[in-house]
Structure 1
Amino acid sequence: MHPNPRQLTLLSVVQAQGSVTVEQLAETLGVTLQTVRRDVQRLADEGMLARFHGGVRVPSSTTENIAHQQRESLNAEGKSRIARAVAAVVPNDCSLILNIGTTTEAIARALLHHTGLRVITNNLNVASILSTNPKCEVIVVGGVVRGRDQGIVGEAAVDFIRQFKVDLALIGISGIEADGTLRDYDYREVKVAQTIISHAREVWLAADISKFNRPAMVEVATLSQIDRLFTDAPPPEPFAALLAEAQVRLAVAIP
């Protein structure tokens, strides 16, 4: 499913508020209750929303992410804006690591015209995308391949990454909680992400607006370990203060 603009707006409203009634959605979007119910049903069927009596909320699982195909569709336009903003400031002739995630895959597509990049990745989708750029060298991390999203995880991946020190780590994340922690679902993926962060001279986080206040089980890092944050809309409270305190440079890719 590729949500239409109205459905993307509906998702943004629910993500900003956590939960909302069908009546509130109809009023906010300026559409009928029937239209909202139809959109909610489609989005719930795809796992993008969870329904309760009279309303909807964000999926609340802290132990399992939604499917890769669903994440590709969710806020795809916002992720593309983030990717272009990141690519605009990535210099040619540098070394970088891209980790698992649909946002990092969007960044890979935005880097297709760069030259002289040496890219290390534990994401086979990223490797497939950037391998079509003849002026880019791609190094694939060894380890266990997760079939659901083509991510590479496990101790072998950690050991492989420890050999390198790159200019930039471009990372995605599943959730940023209100205490400033970055969180994900698979502890094996987290171990790899932590190693990536510790083996980069600068760490850039790419996270669309849906990732703020989204819970997940395993702590990856804190905002204080991030140098730059790229997102597609101004973060909600209390993140402006948290980012300022952590001295993270914020870039908002406005439409």
Structure 2
Amino acid sequence: MLAIERKNEILAILQKEQRVLVSELSQKYEVTEETIRRDLEKLEKEGFVKKTYGGAVLNTNTNIDLPLRIREKTNKKEKQIIAKMVSNLIDDGDTIMLDSSSTSLMIARNLKQLKNLTVITNSVEVLLELAGNKGITVISTGGTLRDSTMSLVGRNAERTLQNFNVDKVVLSCKGVSIDKGITESNEAETEIKSRMRECAKMMILAIDSSKFDFISFVTAMDFRKGDIVVTDVMPDEKWLKYFEEKGVQVVVG
């Protein structure tokens, strides 16, 4: 296994379990403990982890964006369930926008059977996933590439979005809070999601249950009447009351 592959696997384990031990990783990958320590040092320099005695913990700072390849592996089963439910809310002939989240990539994989669908996205991965599907017209926002998220951001992307009016926008986010609303880890991503929201008649927010009661770095937007939240587990009573007051529909797998 290449060092970069091992690092990515370690990061995926951290994303799921929050902490790792050097001794356990050494045995798992059949390398020396010193090799694992070097891996963890590199991940710490990149801002993803914090080293501890005998191991490391995930850096949970609100402005940290894990690579797309790692996020794809996190809560994968839950995201697949959510993706299928979201695809059931998209109809033949719809015009939609998809953001650059790992959940949107899974949703894109569930849209290929639709006809006369138009998808506008800032996700390079979604563009590639939907390329060549005869029933789908795919439009790229253009813009500046963010390597970690494989997303297109910046003023050019925002200007492109302003030209369109669509039926639905499908977004995900880093966290939702009753006090702070929908939050993101990066300002550039937040601007794109906000622009997408303004272009659509309806927002579908696709989030797994881990996103509830988590506040990330930037407040992106608030919920509005007519929004739909698609998630994997029924939210608790305070959230159900909040959504009822806001006029937000909740769809649970």
After superposing on structure 2, the runs of 4+ consecutive aligned residues of structure 1 that deviate more than 6 Å are 45-53
Residues 37-52 of structure 1: pairs in structure 2 closer than 5 A: none
Over 3 Å counting, the alpha-carbon distance change for 1:118 and 1:66 in structure 2 is same
Deviation (angstroms), 1:155? 1.1
Confirm or deny: 8 A CA contact 2:96 2:167 kept in the other structure: yes
Q: Distance in 2 between matches of 1:169 and 1:228?
A: 10
Aligned to 1:191: 191
| Structure 1 residues 61 and 191: alpha-carbon distance in aligned structure 2, compared to 1, 3 A threshold | same
TM-score, with structure 2 as normaliser: 0.77
Structure 1: state its 5+ residue gaps: 15-34
- Number of equivalent positions: 226
Given the superposition, is the C-alpha separation of residues 196 and 90 from structure 1 closer, same or farther in structure 2, using an over 3 Å criterion? Answer: same
Partner of 1:217: 217
Amino acid at match of 1:212: F
Q: Do 1:82 and 1:208's aligned partners in 2 also have CA atoms closer than 8 Å?
A: yes
Q: TM-score, normalised by structure 1?
A: 0.77
Corresponding position of 2:134: 134
Q: Does 1:151 align with 2:151?
A: yes
Contact kept, 8 Å, 1:130 with 1:138, in 2: the verdict is yes
| Equivalent residues of 1:60, 1:215 under 8 A apart | no
CA distance in 2, matches of 1:178, 1:58: 25
Once the 2 structures are TM-superposed, how far is the Cα of residue 236 of structure 1 from its aligned partner? 3.8
Deviations 1:150-190 (A, max 9, x none): 10111111111000100010111111123251011111111
SS of corresponding position for 1:223:
coil
Change in CA separation of 1:243 and 1:129 when aligned onto 2, cut-off 3 Å = same
The 8 Å contact of residues 185 and 218 in structure 1, kept in 2 or not, is answered as yes
Larger radius of gyration: 2
Q: Structure 1 residues 196 and 247, CA, compared in 2 at 3 Å: closer, same or farther?
A: same
> 2:33 maps to what in 1?
none
Tell me which residue corresponds to 1:84: 84
Q: What is the percent sequence identity of the aligned residues?
A: 25
Q: What's the CA shift for 1:238? A: 3.0
1:243 Cα shift?
1.2
Tell me the amino acid that sits aligned with residue 150 of structure 1: M
Contact 2:66 2:148 in 1 (8 A): no
1:238 alignment partner AA:
K
Q: What residue is the counterpart of 2:21 in the other structure?
A: none
8 Å CA contact retained: 1:205, 1:226: no
